[in-house]
Structure 1
Amino acid sequence: MYDMKKLANLEKMNTAAEPGMKAFWAFNDAAFADGALNRLTKELIALGVAMTTQCPYCIELHTKAAREAGATDAQLSEAALVAAAIRAGGAITHATHMFGA
């Protein structure tokens, strides 16, 4: 199922749902533009989110973008560890609901 070549089909969506896709791409561009956070920081956040949602497309795309923004192996590794800690923490904190049943 996962095949980076399938991302070429985004062009079909850009055509078939032009107003919504234009809005999506404009939002995406604005979200990743330098602002209070620089591009590298935003890409590391995106990479952490991609790891927690386990999207292989996003992991690949945002790893590449983070590298292009100057990410080091250490920064990528720490982003992965933060993502793992947040995901594990979610399981632990949700487990507290077991004791109210």
Structure 2
Amino acid sequence: MSGYQRPEDLALAKDLIQLAPKEAQAFLSLKSAAERSDGAIPAKYRELISIAVALTTQCSYCIDAHAKNAVAAGATREEIAETVFIASALRAGAAVGHGLLALRLFDEAAR
């Protein structure tokens, strides 16, 4: 299914914010706090973490924004590559963890 997420959809952000201003403000405040530059975690690491989360949540817009921010923060291609595989391993690990739950629930239902 290609074409569902399009860069031009970002133009709808203003509409979304106007339609739910209180919720949007809360979200934007959280986003601002998480992306601050004066925290204990340096900007480059914040961006690498953001890319890892964006990969696991599969947010194309987030991947785009944080990849660009990572370049500006001094991240390397090698760091991006390692981030990709760390996120992949954790996502796969979560599938195994949920697999344990599925197996237990199957066993409970089979009793």
| Cα distance change of structure 1 residues 11 and 96 upon mapping to structure 2, 3 Å threshold | same
| Cα distance change of structure 1 residues 28 and 99 upon mapping to structure 2, 3 Å threshold | closer
The answer for the alignment partner of 1:93 in structure 2 is: 97
The answer for the alignment partner of 1:36 in structure 2 is: 40
The answer for the alignment partner of 2:20 in structure 1 is: 17
Amino acid at match of 2:51: L
Offset of residue 95 of structure 1 = 2.2
Q: Percent identity?
A: 36
Offset of residue 85 of structure 1 = 0.4
1:62 to 61, 66, 72: 66
Report the TM-score when normalising by structure 1.
Answer: 0.89
Query: Over aligned residues, Cα RMSD in angstroms?
Result: 1.5
The answer for the alignment partner of 1:2 in structure 2 is: 5
The answer for the alignment partner of 1:74 in structure 2 is: 78
Q: Where do 5+ consecutive residues of structure 1 fail to align?
A: none
Report the TM-score when normalising by structure 2.
Answer: 0.82
Offset of residue 81 of structure 1 = 0.6
Structure 1 segments of 4+ aligned residues over 4 angstroms from their partners: none
> 1:91, 1:25 → 2: CA distance?
31
- Greater mean deviation of Cα atoms: 89-98 or 75-84: 89-98
